[in-house]
Structure 1
Amino acid sequence: MEAFRPPRQQGVGQSTVTRHIAELERALGVSLLNRTTRRVSLTDEGARYLAGARTILRLVDEATDQARSAGGDPIGKVRVSCTAALGIRHVSRGVFALQDRCPGIAIDLGLSDVRIDLVREAVDVAIRLGPLEDSSLQLKPVGQSHRVLVASQAYLARHGCPSTPDELARHQTIRMSNVMGSGTLRARGRMRPCTPSR
């Protein structure tokens, strides 16, 4: 799907766009835009219509790419979403390798630690840490991420060393709030004794 270009860059006047939108609203029987003297924004119906239209256009693009690549090398665009740290450290290498093997595939790799609506953003592949939030999506595990509890010597000197997992509940912690399930900790094996340095 081509990147959005303002109507003026496409040689289309504002009056023409306004007329087309008015005709579309009459045909649909709903308002797609909220209009004020200062700004124009999408109504709820307009946002849903836009998301559906983008999905249709993406499917048309995919069908076109499949038809073109039926007899040759794969071509097309794939949108991938991933957290920043995971993408920089691991995923980007795979993306570069895939593009070397399949130069006809354009990969749009979006790195963000903010949770996004994968359907609305037309993301083809999302790589996430933690359990699957939306059951309508298909999940395939690709690896495991192990976490390690650490503390600074200064913190342990002030608050003491936990000797059992239950004692961790009274300690102050920092966690990645954007990772599903990060509020739950499953400890395995024995806790190593810690001794704050003096």
Structure 2
Amino acid sequence: MDKSEITLERMRTFVRVAERGSLSAVARELGIGQSTVTRHLRELEEAVGVPLLSRTTRRVSLTDEGSRYYANSVQILRLVEQARDEARGNRGAAAGTIRVSCTAAFGVLHVSRLIFAFQDTYPDIDVDLSLTDERVDLVREGVDIALRLGPLTDSSMKLRVLGESRRLLVAAPSYLEPRGTPVSPQDLVGHEGIRMSNVAGSDVLSLQGPGGRSHQVPFAGRFRVDHGLAAREALAAGRGIAPAHRWLVDDLMATGRLVELLPDYSLPSVPLSLLIVPGRAGIVRVRMLVDFLVEHIGGIPGIERARG
């Protein structure tokens, strides 16, 4: 191979290094040695004739020339991928890899099962599912689509609102028996609350009662956690009361391990959205998964589909 040649392989390596800022991370992602990543970058820079990356012991960053070359490379690689899919037709489009990011507990309990069903229909499509409650940089992490609960502020992504996730107040009978069951919002004061430490305002419960009256109730407790599955375990273990997404506890309620409190009062629902990285919506297999999720997401307990 001519070392001065610009190849798609070298260009792909460069794009991922530019997005992740780490040679070792890209090597792990691509399943190649770090020395190979380094060689791809060196040979690409030799072919282009200018430095594309600035390397330090802690970080790899783009030069000014590298920033311009990166933007053009992304467009070229997307066109190559779309051209390949179109040439293969529908059969060829149902192959390849889709990278999905999802809110952790929601992904474990429900989205993973939807992906299983999708892959049963399209067995040649690989799915890399990343579960995190952090707001990650989707482009940097190489994600195609993301499912997120809560308000979103990133206007650079293509956004599709899937619906609302209904929440309710729950506790285990074993917790309530020695303490009594609250019958009004003020009865919650003094109870053990299981709080999400990564949710702003979790120290106050906002309830809407009959007639639309709003109630703001202080909410405290000895156990705080940053993961929905841990909150679910705490509830089942009788550690306290918590506001929970219906999809998180529906099976526990069906078996009587948890019961709903204050059913005449409602908690604010949480928006469920699907984010598509710009340029990825044109990839046929990505669009197929998006359509599949949109079609089936309403079957998850407590998810109310968006109208229209």
Q: Normalising by the residue count of structure 1, what TM-score does the alignment of the two structures yield?
A: 0.63
CA contact (8 A) 1:55 1:122 kept: no
Distance of 1:56 and 1:125 partners within structure 2: 18
Distance of 2:30 and 2:53 partners within structure 1: 25
Deviations 1:20-77 (A, max 9, x none): 477489615x75212xxxx35313649x849758845752563254134315252222
| Structure 2 gaps, min length 5 | 1-11, 13-28, 211-260, 264-308
Q: Between the two proteins, what is the percent identity of the paired residues? A: 33
For 1:69, which of 67, 77, 88 is the aligned residue? 88
Q: Normalising by the residue count of structure 2, what TM-score does the alignment of the two structures yield?
A: 0.44
Greater relative CO (CA pairs within 8 A, separation 6+): 2
Deviations 1:152-178 (A, max 9, x none): 66xx89xxx79558x97xx97722526
Correspondence 1:41 to 2:59: yes
For 1:87, which of 88, 101, 107 is the aligned residue? 107
CA contact (8 A) 2:53 2:62 kept: no
For 2:138, which of 97, 118, 141 is the aligned residue? 118
Distance of 1:62 and 1:17 partners within structure 2: 20
CA contact (8 A) 2:101 2:131 kept: yes
Distance of 1:6 and 1:71 partners within structure 2: 34
More strand by share: 2
| Structure 1 gaps, min length 5 | 194-198
Instruction: Please give the secondary structure, in 2, of the residue aligned with 1:27.
Output: coil
Distance of 2:54 and 2:111 partners within structure 1: 38
Q: Cα offset for 1:135? A: 1.7
CA contact (8 A) 1:82 1:109 kept: yes
> Counterpart amino acid of 1:27?
V
The RMSD of aligned alpha carbons is: 4.6
Q: How many equivalent pairs are there? A: 180
